[in-house]
Each structure stands twice: as C-alpha cells, then as structure tokens.
Structure 1
Amino acid sequence: MDTLDYAQEIVKELQGSVSGLNAAEGEAMAELLLRSGQIFVAGAGRSGLMGRAFAMRLMQAGQAAFVVGETVTPGIGPGDVLVLGSGSGETKGLVSMAEKAKAIGAAVVLVTISPDSSLGRLADYIVKLPGSPKDQADGSYATIQPMASLFEQTLLVFYDAVILRMMEQTGQTTGRMFGKHANLE
C-alpha cells in the first residue's frame, strides 16, 4: 500500500467509527455546554491536543472556554463544566481533575471508549465513542492505525460536530466566529 491507500483506509475506518456515535449523548453534551458557566477542557497526549482544538472552537463560538494547565486558565467553580477526552478513562491526572471538579460543584463530561472506567464512574455525562484503545490487544475493534489514532480522530470529528450543533442552536455563523480568530500570528 502507498500513502494514498493508507489515507483512504483511514477515512473508511473513521466513517465506520463516526457511524457508531450516539446522537442523544452528543445532544446532551451540547445542551450542557450551552447552559454552563465556564468550560474547561483536558486530555492527555494526543487526546489532549484534540481537546485544545475543541477549546479553541468553543472560544471562537463565544463560550468562556479554557485548557486546563495553561497559565491563564482560571479556577473552576459551581455551574462550570470539565470536559475530559480519554480513551481508557484511567489517566491518573485526569481522575484527579475530575475528583476536584466534582468536589467544587462543577459537572464532568467524559468522552471515551471506556464508560465503565474510573473516569466513567466520576462523570456526570458520558459520551461513548467507538474505537480502539492503545493498549488493546484482543482485536475487538479492527484498525490498521497505531495505538489510539482512530479514537483521537473520532474525538476531533465529534468535538467539531458538537460545535456545529451549538452554532446552530445559537445562530452563530462562521463569519462571526472568524472575528475571534487569532490575529497576532
């Protein structure tokens, strides 16, 4: 196979993964984010990078959104939401964040492959994504891609779908969002 063949196979896998999304879970997440105070987004590794992209779009859509760990990120409080992207649902640092957020009175949303995980037991809202966790060895979800690539790609597509739904519900347009695009580049 050449790079084009691989790219086409990745798109096929992503199409299969996206077709397994639960619309009601996505709707519940979009509604929660629209009625929340501040939105905090976190994830580890590549899942964290997808979360950063999501936080950027939330900000551009007019939401008070922050990436956990940045020096300008304020404290979380009651009425706020912590959105966690974690394939395994077992990342220790994210578990700690979820425990702290809940103790303060914030809602916790988990987007994961593993709803029956430590984070799943802490979350107020769970969105289950199909995919292959990086430590999976039993072949239960076939992918040619390494580690959790399919989960991370599905995570980004799902996050973008939530943004589009929020835009629709608030009358937001791409043109209005562009006004919040970085201009010191």
Structure 2
Amino acid sequence: MAKDGKEMDFRLEAMLGELKGTLGKIGGEQAAEFAQAVYGAPRVFLAGCGRSGLMVRAFAMRCMHMGKTAYVLGDVTTPAIAAGDLLVVASGSGETESLVSHTRKAKKLGAKVAAVTIYPQAAIGRLADCTVWINAPTAKSEQETGVTSIQPMGSLFEQSLLLFLDATIVRMMELAGVSPAEMFQNHANLE
C-alpha cells in the first residue's frame, strides 16, 4: 500500500467517474416524473431492503424536512397506506420478494407506486406507475451485460440511488419554493 495516498486517490477518482457515468444515464423525463409524483403525493411511503433501504430512509428524512408526510415501511409508526398515497420502492433487482408483495398490495389498495431499479422490466418496474432506471452494474448484471464496476456488489446502484434521491429533493425544493433554512426548521431538535 502506497504511503502517499495515490492508490486511494485513484480509487476515489474511479468511483466518482462511475457515479458520473451512471447518473448521467438517468432519463430526464423519468426523473421529472418521479419528482412530481413525490411532490404531489399527500403521503409518501418508502421501501427498500439492505443498503437500498438505508438510502430510502435518508430520503424519508429529507421529505420530512420538506414538510412532506413520509413513512418507511417496517417502522412501528407507519400507518396504513391508502388510495392516492405514493409508495416509493428502491430495488436493484426489482424482484425482491417482500418488495414485490408490498408493491402489489399498495396497487390493490389504490396507491400509486414509483420504482427506482436497475431492472425496469422486472416485477416491481412492471407494476409501478413511474419507474426510474439506474443503469448500474451488479454481480448479476455483469454476467449478462459485461459492464463492470470496481466496487463490490450493488454499491454503485446504492450510491447512485442516494444521489438521485437527493437531486429529487433539490427539484422538490424548487417546485415548493422552499429554502434550506426553512427545511432546517423541521430538523430534529432533541439531539
């Protein structure tokens, strides 16, 4: 390992390049439709498993800072979803069984579904009213497409997901005319 940090610099540079390339492939219409769906929903429910679940939790927090009513599936304070609500599902594979089940149930109850996935043609993407495709390679897709990442497993998808969701918040701030200072008024104060 180099003592001067050049190896780490190279890795970070490569990762940033991967992120830029992946995020640059997200369709503008898909992104705009997604932001409008979240912005216009009376209540937003968020679901994801593993590291994708951590990214949607961060998005739920920012939605709350925006003044949106947002819930993460699985939290004990999450109420029943209803017609007109929005379920946001983040799933790299688009086939995670529990998330497919949540998506089907939400649709049955009249809620809208917005999906963010690597595989828009998978079950969750097919069920969703709005789907955003993040073209990030995973161990599974590398075998299918030959596109690779220097990062392990779904890291590139999860990082891209977080940045895409943060960009969605910036768009929602523009739509609502809300400033960071106004959002900070909703920040936790029992720290």
TM bin, normalised by shorter chain, reads over 0.9
2 CA distance for matches of 1:131 and 1:68?
25
Give the CA RMSD over aligned residues: 1.2
1:20 corresponds to 2:25:
yes
2 CA distance for matches of 1:128 and 1:168?
23
Aligned partner of 2:55 in structure 1 is 50
Q: Tell me, which stretches of 5 or more residues in structure 2 are unaligned?
A: 1-5
Aligned partner of 1:128 in structure 2 is 133
Q: Which has the larger radius of gyration?
A: 2
- Whichever residue aligns with residue 163 of structure 2, its letter is V
Aligned partner of 1:97 in structure 2 is 102
Partner-residue secondary structure (3-state), 1:177: helix
2 CA distance for matches of 1:35 and 1:66?
15
- CA offsets per residue over residues 46-104 of structure 1, 9 Å max, x none? 00100000010001011001111001111100010000011100000000100110010
Structure 1 residue 173 displacement after superposition: 0.5
Percent identity, aligned pairs only, is: 45
- Write out aligned runs for 1:34-183 (5 A): 34-138=39-143, 140-183=146-189
Structure 1 residue 41 displacement after superposition: 0.5
Contact map agreement 1:41 1:84 (CA 8 A) in 2: yes
Provide TM-score, normalisation by structure 2.
0.93
2 CA distance for matches of 1:59 and 1:134?
34
- Whichever residue aligns with residue 19 of structure 1, its letter is G
Structure 1 residue 128 displacement after superposition: 0.6
Contact map agreement 2:85 2:112 (CA 8 A) in 1: yes
Aligned residues: 185
Contact map agreement 1:113 1:129 (CA 8 A) in 2: yes
Q: Tell me, which stretches of 5 or more residues in structure 1 are unaligned?
A: none
Structure 1 residue 142 displacement after superposition: 2.1
Provide TM-score, normalisation by structure 1.
0.96
- CA offsets per residue over residues 100-120 of structure 1, 9 Å max, x none? 100100001110010110111
